[in-house]
Amino acid sequence: MPSRNHTSNATSKKSKFTGPRVIIPIKKKKPKKKLEVHVNENSSPVEILHASWEFISAFQFFYTFNAYFHLPKDLSIQQLEEALVAGKDEEPVPDEHVAHLKRESSVLSQQSSQSGGESLPVRNYLANFMVHIISPLLTPRQQTLINQDNYEQFVADVFPDYSNFANMHIIDKIKVLKSIEMAHVEIADPDLLALQVDKSSKALRVSPLGTDCEGWVYWYFGHQRLYREVPLVIGKKGPDALEFSFELVCYTIEQWKETIEKLKSVKRPANKKIAKTVNALGAEVIVEIEAKEKARLAHEAKMKRARELELMPKKRSRRLEVKFEEQVKRQKLLDEEREQAELEALASQKEAEQAEVMIEKCSREIQKAEISLRKNLRAFITDLMVAGHESKAAMQPLTTLVNTKTPLHERLAKMQGWIRLLEGSISMELSEEDGTIQFVGESVDTALVSVLFTSAMAVYLNTLMLLKLNPISVAFETADQTYADLILDHFENIESFTLALNNIITSITDKAIREDVVQFLAAIFAPDVHQIAEAQQPERGVEEAKVDELEPGINGVHDPAAALFDGVGELSDSNSISSDDNKLGESISSTAADTIKLDASNTVSTTDVDSADVEEIDEYDLVPADTDATTDNCITDIAPSLHTSAEITTEITADPPTLKAASTNDTVPHTSLETLTNELPTSYATLDNDTTVACMETSPEKLAVDELVDVQIMESVAWLDSVNTTDSLKISVESSLETDTSMSAASVPHESL
């Protein structure tokens, strides 16, 4: 095996190709062209203005907020550049905007003065511009003193580093304009901020059009000018690069066309995109420039014709002169009408925008006030529960939120509950003469200060707008304004609030709706029926209690809220109690199998009662199951603590009677009245000389009964002895009140009687 250093004498393998070698030189990449703007401090003023980003930025600021500075809408950057270059008044720049606003009475008189060798009284455009932009930075007294002749003094007062503004270098003038812009931004005048809010983000911030393949960033700020910017490299920013980074590409029709063709010629994706954008923009700009050029040529032709008419002999041109004067007058009137219409449209638009801003601001204030009112109401009710003045079960419904899905009866119950918690009484009275309402009572003077009264009236007005009033009616608008004034605490006293409510009522054209609105308000301030019953019933013992004759309503008291809802607190005329002891005795003795039932669907009953809305006790009548007879001698007061429907049956047989609960099928034997009384500690039963049995719930923790319902049996011994042992007394109770099941009615056994 040969070693590694072994050299073989064998001839090397010859190459297949014996031709001369061709060396292909490697092309060196051309260095990327450095983008730069060839402008410095020694350049011409026009070139500096075109390349200075500070000047472009300052002009764009003043142009965007021209209304704040009282500058013309068509403020021209070209005119400002010419004015900055001109400098002193010996080289004035005609102010076309002022001349347009203050046009002469006729073109002839204007041209006549020119033909006589006298120049038009023109203003220094730069001085006029500087007075407008520097005035907001001055004091009110200085604003009255500044004018076009002394504005340089006030510029020096605001910016001491810059004096003799008109003779300064163009770069220093740009610095002054930029400093004025930044001063306005730092001061942040509310009027300026209001204009900023009204303008869209697109108008406030201009975005670049795009970038070409070389890296130039193209910008269009309006005024038919297309700029391109050098992208600055981070970390290599010199002072010149910071000041001069823009380049004016085109601003005439020919330059726009050349730029579009130049971008199209480069077949690169980046150029295609920017070329498409510039092409679309250039078409619009060219049309705009052509329209302006056409208007300029027409104006020049008009002026030329006017000069020709002026030079014509008066005898031969009087007819044409009169005709031309009439045309000038008509044109002047048309121009004035157009300008007036534009001013009115602008004022109307500004008023509409201000109205929208005010409506939005008022809406936010109302939302905050509503949230604060709900918090205060919840805190007030929570304090009552913590102090032990009110129970949590009774106050819980009053703290829940009211929304658009809350039914009418729940709204009424909440408002009634809030009004009843007021310290001192307050009620509503309706005048029979003019139909107006007024509030009376002990707490009427402090009602608007109370969160309870304010919450109740706010829900009342909200209910009117939601359920009762037409949204396009005058009454709806009045109610909406009254609601806002109530929530925002704009009413000085209760009289002003009452006047607003009366305006709502009188503006309702439909009589039925008007009466419904008044009745709904009366229901809110209706007194508690339990308190009325206590006031009307004198204090007496159980033995002296008599059965009161009941009228339609609850305990003979009419509840205004009962008429608002079907089936809530409403009793028919047939639900009365008739008294006929002989018929009752005959009916029971003749029919041994008859069963006396206490049914919620029969007389003296209140159906479809929601325990969260009406806190009254249902009353039921004892009637024979198979007959139509009714009696007021047997009335049982049922406690509202039944959680589910229960049927309680008492059977009278020879054996000791039993008390059965149909829902649980539990049977409890009873042998005497004493045993019954002991086993029902929450009730008591007494037997007087008239054989009267009275049953009443006495536990305040479980019952809300404020009246005593008596049961009188006039000839109980006679007819009970004649009753067959198979007869039974059946009491059916159905209650939807959501409390624990309890029993408040007692049955007296046959043997005890």
Query: Is residue 26 one of the residues assigned to a domain?
Result: no
For the chain, the maximum distance between any two Cα atoms, rounded to a whole number of angstroms, is 157
Q: Is the same domain home to 643 and 497?
A: no
- Choose the final residue of a domain: 246, 278, 299: 299
- Nearest 5°: the CA angle 65, 66, 70 is 130
Looking at the fold, whether 131 and 116 belong to one and the same domain comes out as: yes
Q: Are residues 566 and 659 in the same domain?
A: yes
Q: Is residue 653 part of a domain?
A: yes
DSSP state, residue 656: P
Strands 728-733 and 595-598: parallel
Check whether residue 701 and residue 552 sit in a common domain: yes
Q: Specify the pLDDT at position 387.
A: 86
DSSP 474: H
pLDDT of the residue at 1: 44
Query: CA dist 2 to 11, 29, 76, 518, Å?
Result: 17, 50, 94, 126
Phi, psi of 568 (to 5 degrees): -115, 110
Ranges of the chain with pLDDT below 70 = 1-22, 25-33, 87-123, 198, 200-203, 232-242, 312-318, 527-753
Q: At 687, give phi and psi (nearest 5°).
A: -125, 115
pLDDT given for residue 31 in this prediction: 58
Q: By C-alpha distance, which of 643, 661, 627 is closest to 747?
A: 661
* Residue 12: inside a domain: no
Is 328 domain-assigned?
A: no
Q: Is residue 255 part of a domain?
A: yes
117 sits in which H/E element: none
pTM: 0.38
pLDDT reported for residue 194: 80
**Sequence letter at residue 662:** A
Q: Do residue 231 and residue 181 come from a single domain?
A: no
Residues 580 and 723 in one domain: yes
Residue span of the structural domain in which 465 resides: 401-526
- Select from 179, 203, 227 the last residue of a domain: 203
Q: Supply the angle between the helices 170-187 and 77-86 in degrees, to the nearest 10.
A: 130
Same domain, 489 and 638: no
Q: Which residue has the tokens 């408040």?
A: 744
212 with 193, same domain?
Answer: no
In the block, residue with structure tokens 């008591």: 684
DSSP conformation letters of 685-752:
--B-TT-EEE-EE--TTT----S--EEE-TTHHHHHHTS-TT-EEEEEE-----S----------TTT
Structurally, the chain folds into a number of domains equal to 4
CA distance 233 to 433: 87
User: Quick one: 161 and 220 in the same domain?
Assistant: no
**For residue 294, what pLDDT is reported?**
87
In a domain, residue 315? The reply is: no
pLDDT score of 526: 80
> What is the DSSP pairing of strand 635-637 with strand 210-211?
unpaired
Q: What kind and span of H or E run contains 72?
A: none
Whose tokens are 């009228």? That residue is 551
Do 517 and 616 belong together in one domain?
A: no
Please report whether residue 649 resides in a domain. yes
110 inside domain: yes
Same domain, 98 and 211: no
The kind and range of the H/E element at 464 are: none
Considering the domain architecture, whether residues 219 and 197 belong to the same structural domain is answered as no
DSSP 272-337: HHHHHHHHHHHHHHHHHHHHHHHHHHHHHHHHHHHHHHHHS-HHHHHHHHHHHHHHHHHHHHHHHH
Helices (H), 388-473: 392-399, 408-420, 451-463
